[in-house]
């Protein structure tokens, strides 16, 4: 059986903002419109039952992530009910977190998260001029100021050292990485995780002239130089993982290295789906042919099925150019969704292949230079 290590719970299918690059609402998939706006108490109870059963049937502990849409649309009372149900079957050895846009963070929300030992990661793309280009509300207005208000409440909470998990930022390759890095350091974040923009060979990501161009790789290489020059650096998960892999260690980030992950998504109606980033490939790309639900199926039975095994195997690239690449052990082939092409599915290198090779080459050059300076 494939062991599950991440359960992503879609607590809300709607969002209070409308990010222009969002794979859920703005890249062609329409399933969200048919789902309940929020998870019902009956489905929350069924999810808790399913996860309690999973914890008894597999030795490996798993992480639970509340996602959306925007999960804080539940409000403090419904959020407390969901977390209480989950904690009734999963001890604090099982990490809980919420990925939020930060605008709905309140003292009541933070108290609930503290009570049930649930950390918060906040999505923010940088200073106002960068963030507000794409992370807008439903009237097209920027959201930066309200996100900062939420982060301020998080930073000022009595349990902030536990609650403040870090920041999540989608890369804008036209921005200045020094400006972005400096801004995030001012927010005193424990870490920041930078993400490539969603896209594929048939629908190029923003800022990429072609699948052979390397705008993102050059941006990240400049960020790396800033990072290495900082005597007290902000932890950057993407760079840390890639450096560890080059040095012979192990990474923990999906889409890098040789590791794979057992990931299940639970929608607001209890349906089990594939990794929801696949939505940006084509409408319905994240759905299994088999109709699975926490109301009717065991997660261990799903994980033991041939269809789930095929989905799990998709994490590793199958394109011949990837399999023969000397940097595969570092790059890992990237995220499956970035390999998509309408003509031949996922049988391609990542649309970010050139970017990854530029970044890895720059990392190797910097590590070599650092090693030589230490020997002098």
DSSP state of 167: E
Residue whose token pair is 């424990």 = 190
Strands 272-273 and 263-266 come out as antiparallel
Q: Which residues of 187-205 are buried (b: 16+ CB within 10 A; e: fewer)?
A: bebebbbbebbbbbbebeb
Angle between helices 75-87 and 41-57 (to 10 degrees): 30
The burial of 264, by beta-carbon neighbours within 10 Å (0-12 exposed, 13-18 middle, 19 or more buried), is given as buried
CA distance 246 to 243: 5
Question: For every one of its 376 residues, what pLDDT tens digit does the chain have, with 9 covering 90 and above?
Answer: 799 999 999 999 999 998 888 877 766 677 777 899 999 999 999 999 999 999 999 989 999 999 989 999 999 999 999 999 999 999 999 999 999 999 999 999 999 999 999 999 999 999 999 999 999 999 999 999 999 999 999 999 999 999 999 999 999 999 999 999 999 999 999 999 999 999 999 999 999 999 999 999 999 999 999 999 999 999 999 999 999 999 999 888 888 998 889 999 999 999 999 988 888 888 888 899 999 999 999 999 999 999 999 999 999 999 999 999 999 999 999 999 999 999 999 999 999 999 999 999 999 999 998 888 877 6
pLDDT on residue 281 = 85
pLDDT on residue 376 = 66
pLDDT on residue 20 = 83
Backbone angles phi, psi at 59, to 5 degrees: -75, -35
CATH topology of domain 6-313: TIM Barrel (3.20.20)
Q: Which of 363, 364, 332, 326 is nearest to 350 (CA)?
A: 332
Residue whose token pair is 């108490």 = 41
pLDDT on residue 30 = 74
CA distance 172 to 185: 18
């Amino acid at each position: 059986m494939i062991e599950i290590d991440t359960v992503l719970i879609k607590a809300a299918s709607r969002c209070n903002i409308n990010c222009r690059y969002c794979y859920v609402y703005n890249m062609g998939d329409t399933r969200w419109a048919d789902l309940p706006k929020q998870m019902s108490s009956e489905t929350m109870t069924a999810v808790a039952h399913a996860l309690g059963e999973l914890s008894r049937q597999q030795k490996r502990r798993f992480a639970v992530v509340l996602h959306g849409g925007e999960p804080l649309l539940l409000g403090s009372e419904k959020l407390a009910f969901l977390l209480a149900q989950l904690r009734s079957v999963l001890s604090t050895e099982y990490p809980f977190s919420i990925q939020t846009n930060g605008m709905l963070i309140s003292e009541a929300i933070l108290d609930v998260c503290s009570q049930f030992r649930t950390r918060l990661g906040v999505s923010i793309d940088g200073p106002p001029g960068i963030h507000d280009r794409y992370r807008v509300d439903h009237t097209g207005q920027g959201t930066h100021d309200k996100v900062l208000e939420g982060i301020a409440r998080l930073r000022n909470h009595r349990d902030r050292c536990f609650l403040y998990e870090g920041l999540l930022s989608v890369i804008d390759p036209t921005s200045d990485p020094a400006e972005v890095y400096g801004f995030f350091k001012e927010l005193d974040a424990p870490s920041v995780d930078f993400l490539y923009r969603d896209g594929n060979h048939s629908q190029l990501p923003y800022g990429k002239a072609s699948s052979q161009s390397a705008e993102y790789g050059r941006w990240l290489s400049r960020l790396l130089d800033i990072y290495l020059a900082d005597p007290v650096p902000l932890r950057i998960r993407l760079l840390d993982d890639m450096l560890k892999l080059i040095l012979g260690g192990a990474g923990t980030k999906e889409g890098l290295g040789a590791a794979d992950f057992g990931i299940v998504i639970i929608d607001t109606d209890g349906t089990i789906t594939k990794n929801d980033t696949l939505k940006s490939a084509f409408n319905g790309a994240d759905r299994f042919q088999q109709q699975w639900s926490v109301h009717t199926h065991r997660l261990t039975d799903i994980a033991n099925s041939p269809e789930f095994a095929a989905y799990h195997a998709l994490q590793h690239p199958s394109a011949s150019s990837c399999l023969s690449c000397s940097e595969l052990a570092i790059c890992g082939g990237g995220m499956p969704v970035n390999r998509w092409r309408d003509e031949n599915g996922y049988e391609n290198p990542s649309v970010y292949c050139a970017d990854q090779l530029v970044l890895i080459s720059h990392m190797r050059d910097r590590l070599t230079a650092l090693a030589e300076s230490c020997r002098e």
